[in-house]
Structure 1
C-alpha cells in the first residue's frame, strides 16, 4: 500500500511575498484507499456551504479566509466554518502532515544572495527527507504546478533517489517511488488540502490576525495540523 504525498507551498511568490520571512512547503500524506474519499468530502463542503459544486470549484486557503471568489457572500463566521470543515478531513481520514521552511533573509545573508532562487528546492529536499524517514510505506509525490522549478525538482528527486544528492548533501530517498508529478491544484483535492495547511501555518507564524475570533480559529486549525504532524524541519538556515 502506498501514500500519495500532496505538496504545496506558500511565501515565495505573489502578493505580499516580500513581507513573509518564510517559504514553507507543506505535504499531506493520503493513503491510496482514501484519495476518492477526500474528493467526496471536499465536494460535500461545497454543497453544505454553497448549495452546489461550482464547475470551477477549488478550496484555496487565501480565498476562503479572505472571503474571495465563491466565498464572498459568507460572513466571517461562515468562512471560518468552511476552513475548519476542510481541515477536519485530516482527522476523518487520518492524514499525515509534514512541512519544511526556508528563512529567506537568513538564506540571502548566508550565501550572499546566490541561493535565493533555490529556496523552493531546498525546502523540497528537506521535506522529502523527513517524509522518507518519518512515515512507513511507499510514497508517490504530487505537487502543485511550479513552472519555474518543475524540471529542476524532477531532476533533484531522481538524484536523491539514486545517490542522496540534492541542493545540499542529503540522504538517499528509499520509499519515494516513481518521479515527482505536477498537477493543477484545481484538479487535485490533495494539493488543495496541502494549500490549506500551508496557508494556515504561514498565517499563524506571521501573526496576521488581530481579531480574537480569527486568532482562536487559526489556532484550532493549526492544532489539528500539529496533531497529525509526525515530522517537520525547523526553518533553515538556523
Structure 2
C-alpha cells in the first residue's frame, strides 16, 4: 500500500521571515485509503466551527491562529479548539510526520551566500532521504506550489531516483515511485495538514506565544505532532 506524502514549507519567505532561523519542510504521510477520510474530517471541522463548509474553504495555520479569513468572528478559545480538532487527524488516521530544516544563517555563512537560493532544495533532499529509509512501502510526492523551485525540484527528484544525485552527495531513492507533483493547497487537504503541522512547529520553536493559554495550546498541539514524528534530521549545516 502506498503513502501519499504531502509537503509544505515554513520559514523561508514572507512577513517575519527574517525572524525565523530555520527553513523547514514538513511532510505528512497518509495511507492511500485514508486520503478521502482526511478530506471529510476537515469538512467536519468546518461544519462544527463555522456551521458549514464555505466556498473555497481550506485550513491555513496562520489564518486560524491569527483570527483571519473565515475565522475572524471566533474567539481565541474557539480558534484553539479549531486547531486542535484539525491536528487530531494525525491520531485518527495514523498519519506519519517527518521534517528537515536548513539553518539559514549558518548556510549563508558556510557558503558566503552562494547557496542561499538552494535552501529549499537542500531541505527537500534531506526530507526525502529520511522518508525513503524511514517508512516502508511506495510513496507519491505532492507538494504545495513552489513557482520558484518547481522545475529544479522535479529534476532533483529524478536524479535522486536515478543515481542519488542531489544538492549535496546523497542516496538513491528506492520507494518514491513518481515525480514530485505540485498542487494548490486549496485542492489538497493533505497539503493543508502539512501546513498546519509546519506552522505549529514554527510557532513552538520560535516561542512566539506569550499568553499562557496560547503557550499551553501550542504545547499540546506540538506534543501530538511529535508523537507522529517518525523520522527526524537535525538542522543543517551543523553549528
Which bracket does the TM-score occupy, shorter chain normalised?
over 0.9
Partner of 1:184: 184
Partner of 1:134: 134
Partner of 2:157: 157
Deviations 1:152-179 (A, max 9, x none): 0000000000000100001100000110
Partner of 1:33: 33
Taking only aligned residues, the RMSD between alpha carbons, in angstroms, comes to 0.4
Deviations 1:170-196 (A, max 9, x none): 110000011000000001000000000
Partner of 1:11: 11
> For the residues of structure 2 that align with 1:126 and 1:219, how far apart are their CA atoms?
26
Instruction: Indicate the SS of the match to 2:40.
Output: helix
Matched, 1:75 2:75: yes
> For the residues of structure 2 that align with 1:214 and 1:123, how far apart are their CA atoms?
29
Q: Aligned ranges for residues 51-200 of structure 1 at < 5 Å?
A: 51-200=51-200
- CA shift, 1:49, in A, is 0.3
> For the residues of structure 1 that align with 2:214 and 2:14, how far apart are their CA atoms?
23
Partner of 1:205: 205
- CA shift, 1:136, in A, is 0.3
- CA shift, 1:233, in A, is 1.1
Deviations 1:38-85 (A, max 9, x none): 000000000000001011111000000010000000011000000000
- CA shift, 1:232, in A, is 1.3
- CA shift, 1:142, in A, is 0.1
Instruction: Indicate the SS of the match to 1:90.
Output: helix
Deviations 1:196-217 (A, max 9, x none): 0000111100000000110110
Instruction: Indicate the SS of the match to 1:100.
Output: strand
- CA shift, 1:137, in A, is 0.3
Partner of 1:220: 220
Aligned length: 238
TM-score, normalising length: structure 1: 0.99
> For the residues of structure 2 that align with 1:210 and 1:153, how far apart are their CA atoms?
37
Q: Which runs of 5+ in 1 are unaligned?
A: none
Instruction: Indicate the SS of the match to 2:235.
Output: strand
> For the residues of structure 1 that align with 2:179 and 2:199, how far apart are their CA atoms?
26
Instruction: Indicate the SS of the match to 1:214.
Output: helix
